[in-house]
Amino acid sequence: MKETTFSFIDLFAGIGGMRLAFERLGGHCVFSSEWDKHCQKTYAANFGEVPAGDITKIASRDIPRHDILLAGFPCQSFSIIGNGKGFADTRGTMFFEIERVLNDKRPSAFLLENVKQLVSHDKGRTFRVIVSRLNKLGYYAHWKILNALDFGLPQKRERILIVGFRENLQFSFPKQKKEKPSLRAFLEDHKKVDQKYFASKNIVQKRLEKAKEKAKPTPSIWHENKGGDIGIHEHSCALRSNASHNYLLVDGIRRLTPRESLLLQGFPMNFKIVVSDAQIKKQTGNAVPINMIHDVGREMLKALNREPLSPIIGPKPESQQTILAMGET
C-alpha cells in the first residue's frame, strides 16, 4: 500500500485531529462520525463536510471500505476525571462499536487512542479484554503510552496508542524527538490578547502567594492541581475539557486563548474557530496531539509496505504474554 493512495475512516472524530494527521501522510478520508453538534460545526468549517452522527445508529453497510480505521474513542469513563467506571459507563461501550466495524469491514490496520489510565483500569482487566477482542478478530495489536511533549508539542499529554494489523507486520512506535519544543512559539503576545482572558487580581495574587518560593521562567504555564499546589513549567500540562476556569494560566496571569489551545494540540494556525470559547476549550481538551498521531501513522505506513513476518514466533496473539510483549515495541 503506497502512502499516497490509502483510505481511512475517522470515528469519534471530534474536530478532526486524527484526520489532519493522516491527510498530511497522503491519506483520503472516506467517512467520518461524530455525534456532538458543536464538534460537527467545527469539523464542517474545516473539512467541508458534516460528519455522520451517532455511530451506534450507523449500519456497517453504510460505511465505505477503507484501509485504515482511526478512532479516538470516548475516554471519560476510563480517566481519573471520569471516575474510572470503564465498561460500566455507556461511553466505555463505544469500543464495541469499533469492534463491530473492524469485524464487518476488515481494514488492513487501525489506530486507537485513549487516556493512559485505560491500561491500568480495573487492575488491567479492561485493557486485556480490549486487546483480546482485537486479537480474536484476527488483528495483531501493538500498544504504547506516548507523550505529546516528545513529539514537538509543549504539552505534557500522555496517551495510550493501540495499533493493529491484519498481518503480523514488523512495527515499531516512533522514537521521541531529542529537542524539546519552545513554548514561546505557541503563545500569543500578552499585549495582543483580549483582556477577557486575564485572571482577576485576586486570582493572580493567590497564585503568586502559593508559588512565591518557586522559580518563574518566562514564558511558563502555571498549573493548579486538585490539592491547590502550583506547578510552573515551560510547557503546558494536559488540556482538559472540563477543567476549572483558571486551571492553566500563562505566566500566572491569563488563560490560554482558543488559538493557543489549538496550537498546543498541533492544529495549524489557519484552523477555523466557529464556536464559542467554552466549546473550543471542550474540543481542544478532547482532541488528539496531531504531531504524535502523524508520527505513529508514518510508522504504520512503513509497516504496511513491508512483507509480513513469517513464521510467527512465540505464543498465540490472544495470550496475555503477547499483549504485554507487543506493548513494549
**Which residues are catalytic, by number?**
75
Nearest to 222 by CA among 105, 243, 33, 230: 230
If one counts every other C-beta atom within 10 angstroms of the C-beta of residue 60, the result is: 12
Nearest to 319 by CA among 176, 141, 181: 141
Q: Rounded to the nearest 5 degrees, what angle is found at the Cα of 119, between the Cα atoms of 159 and 82?
A: 70
Distance between CA atoms of 290 and 36, rounded to whole angstroms? 20
- Provide CB contacts within 8 A for 195, sequence distance 6+: none
Nearest to 186 by CA among 262, 290, 289: 262
Q: Judge contact between 253 and 199, C-beta under 8 A.
A: yes
